[in-house]
Amino acid sequence: QPLRRVSSHQLLAIRRGEKEGFLKVGIAINDDRAIDNICRIVVKGSGKASMLVEEAAEDSFKRLVKPSIETEFAALSKSKADDEAIDMFAQNARQLLFAPPLGHKRILAVDPGFRTGCKVVCLDENGNLLHHDVIYPTAPNYDIDGATEKVCALVEKYAIDAISLGNGTASRETERFLKRLRHSRKVDVYVVSENGASIYSASKIARDEFPDKDVTVRGAVSIGRRLLDPLAELVKIDP
């Protein structure tokens, strides 16, 4: 495949595979065409001296010029791929950090899961923790009735305005469950990125704020606060 047609993420994946020892990567050059081009420039006439110059040109290309070209193009393509990857990361980070906050709403946040259940927390308008619990609406437990009763009761008890659901494992299954529920008030379900939630939950900031809560509760709190004010919550995560 022509190097110019290799996308940045493909090139970075190839280089990573090469670094890990799974791939052997090289840049193929048309040797005959390259040598012919060089000879047309440096070889004059057709005598013995010209033959020696032609042999020298071929030898210098194979020993010196070709490896240099491969190294240079590999470095240039890697640099270009890095720049494109950084630009893409910056765009994604900008969208994430500057997502509009929901405002002063009471949030029920859910950190989805299968075997260990879905961690649920209720937050007030300022993101303070009011309550935490666990529900099991997904495999292998499928306690739909128990989860329904618990979520509906929490929505009523804490006057919940919106539900914030992490986009991790079991997110789709949990989202389907949550959207089927009916409440006495309008309660929208939002799916938010939970990238970095586990980092925050184990951080000193989280431990200082919730010293008597485990990491699962802290992570669910972070998911809820990301809906209230994404920027204020995400800046807590170490880069």
What is the pLDDT averaged over residues 70-76? 84
Is residue 239 over pLDDT 70? no
Is residue 16 over pLDDT 80? yes
**Alpha carbons 206 and 110: distance in angstroms, whole number:** 17
Tokens 């002063």 belong to which residue? Answer: 104
Look at 48 and 99; give whichever has higher pLDDT. 48
Is residue 199 over pLDDT 80? yes
- Give me the torsion for CA of 223, 226, 231, 237, rounded to 10°: 0
Q: What is the pLDDT of residue 173?
A: 97
Any residues with CB less than 8 A from the CB of 34 and at least 6 apart, and which? 61, 65, 66
Q: What is the pLDDT of residue 112?
A: 97
Assign a CATH topology to domain 107-234. Answer: Nucleotidyltransferase; domain 5 (3.30.420)
Provide the residue ranges of all domains of the chain, joining segments of one domain with +.
3-97, 107-234
What is the pLDDT averaged over residues 112-119? 96
Three-state secondary structure call for residue 89 = helix
Look at 171 and 69; give whichever has higher pLDDT. 171
Confidence of residue 129 (pLDDT cuts 50, 70, 90): very high
Is residue 4 over pLDDT 80? no
Burial class of residue 215, CB neighbours in 10 A (0-12, 13-18, 19+): middle
What is the pLDDT averaged over residues 205-212? 94
Beta bridge partners of residue 135, listed in sequence order: 118
Confidence of residue 30 (pLDDT cuts 50, 70, 90): confident
Look at 148 and 67; give whichever has higher pLDDT. 148
- In the DSSP assignment, the letter for residue 122 is E
